[in-house]
Amino acid sequence: MESEKKQSSSVSDVGAWGMNIVSSVGIIMANKQLMSSSGFGFSFATTLTGFHFALTALVGMVSNATGLSASKHIPLWELLWFSLVANVSIAAMNFSLMLNSVGFYQISKLSMIPVVCVMEWILHSKHYSREVKASVMVVVVGVGICTVTDVKVNAKGFICACTAVFSTSLQQISIGSLQKKYSVGSFELLSKTAPIQALSLLIFGPFVDYFLSGKFITTYQMTYGAIFCILLSCALAVFCNISQYLCIGRFSATSFQVLGHMKTVCVLTLGWLLFDSEMTFKNISGMVVAVVGMVIYSWAVDLEKQRNAKSTPQGKNSMTEDEIKLLKEGVEHIDLKDVELGETTKV
């Protein structure tokens, strides 16, 4: 029975990761077609994120209304604080990409792994084994090899990158913390934060996009192809958002960051297959190192769990021989009552 539960849990874990990787890679491919100059030239990333959360909020409202999901109370100030951090993360990421070189932008994204580790240590007193730390470094080096090219830094870009890294790391840690604190599921939490994020992003998003691109969304000429890509992007975003909350709730922000770089490997591979992107020996070797690092990380986390399980005291569930002897002696002189049947049996 216990082994069946473990197997079922493992299948659920793989399903959560699978949904996150497939939906994340899918949304990147859809957005590439939507936003690239060779595609539909839709350059309003922050507003598009507002559309994503609007559809996610709508799905959450329908789910709550039909009774498919329960709604638990979370203080409004917690939801507002979380939404503010999440929106700052989105805006800072977009500004970082605009102001920095692609190489430095990738380095800033890679730095989230050690930053999340440090923040979890400070906020939750979480400690990591040597094996976990070593595997994290292997993943960072591998992804760095295959993604980082030119690295140029400027003051404004550096500030935006630091803000993006800090806010994104805090947001991902907060997802797990809020789920545990208020005993809510991943979808329940998402359905409460999505409306706030959608409203704020749809109000302020067009102004952020104007600052980034010099154009208002009202000047964009919509086509059926662009509308289809926007709808596809929004639909994939619902699965991406749900799976992100699900993964962080099941595992940790660190695991989400480390294993999430599998998406980087998939995006590079699909870019080469679908969009004729260049694939060099440097890219391939970096991807191999990154995948090896992820495998080592999974092994290291399992090893850490086994060590923690061995070091945890069994408690009163396992009785000593003296306790068993006393229990047997007592039973010989006690009438055992069957509460449900109302019968008394002499032992």
Answer with the residue of higher pLDDT: 151 or 97. Answer: 97
338 belongs to a structural domain: no
321 belongs to a structural domain: no
Answer with the residue of higher pLDDT: 82 or 130. Answer: 82
Q: Give the mean pLDDT of 125-133.
A: 81
- Looking at residue 81, its pLDDT comes to 94
β-bridge partners, 338:
343
Residue 310 has pLDDT above 60, yes or no: yes
Do 69 and 185 form a contact (C-beta atoms < 8 A)?
yes
Q: Evaluate if pTM is beyond 0.85.
A: no
pLDDT band at 335 (very low <50, low <70, confident <90, very high): very low
- Looking at residue 276, its pLDDT comes to 65
Average pLDDT across the chain, whole number: 78
pLDDT band at 123 (very low <50, low <70, confident <90, very high): confident
Residue 23 has pLDDT above 70, yes or no: yes
Separation between Cα atoms, residue 342 and residue 347, nearest integer Å: 16
- Looking at residue 204, its pLDDT comes to 92
Separation between Cα atoms, residue 29 and residue 267, nearest integer Å: 8
- Looking at residue 119, its pLDDT comes to 87
- Looking at residue 332, its pLDDT comes to 47
- Looking at residue 47, its pLDDT comes to 93
Residue 312 has pLDDT above 60, yes or no: no
319 belongs to a structural domain: no
Length reported for the chain: 347
Residue 28 has pLDDT above 90, yes or no: no
- Looking at residue 83, its pLDDT comes to 92
Answer with the residue of higher pLDDT: 251 or 296. Answer: 296
Print the domain residue range for 84.
9-307
333 belongs to a structural domain: no
318 belongs to a structural domain: no
- Looking at residue 232, its pLDDT comes to 94
pLDDT band at 82 (very low <50, low <70, confident <90, very high): very high
Using one digit for the tens of pLDDT, what is the confidence trace for 247-282? 877 777 777 777 666 777 777 777 777 666 677 787
Kindly state the DSSP code that residue 69 receives in the 8-state scheme.
S
Using one digit for the tens of pLDDT, what is the confidence trace for 185-217? 878 888 899 999 999 999 999 998 898 888 899
- Looking at residue 49, its pLDDT comes to 92
Q: Is 257 helix (H, G, I), strand (E, B) or coil?
A: helix
Q: Give the mean pLDDT of 48-55.
A: 93
Residue 245 has pLDDT above 70, yes or no: yes
Q: In what helix (H) or strand (E) does residue 241 lie, and over which residues does it extend? A: helix 224-250
- Looking at residue 313, its pLDDT comes to 54
294 belongs to a structural domain: yes
Residue 73 has pLDDT above 50, yes or no: yes
β-bridge partners, 345:
336
How many distinct structural domains can be found in the chain? 1
pLDDT band at 246 (very low <50, low <70, confident <90, very high): confident
- Looking at residue 103, its pLDDT comes to 67
Do 2 and 219 form a contact (C-beta atoms < 8 A)?
no
Answer with the residue of higher pLDDT: 207 or 285. Answer: 207
Beta carbons within 8 Å of 133's beta carbon, 6+ residues apart: 117
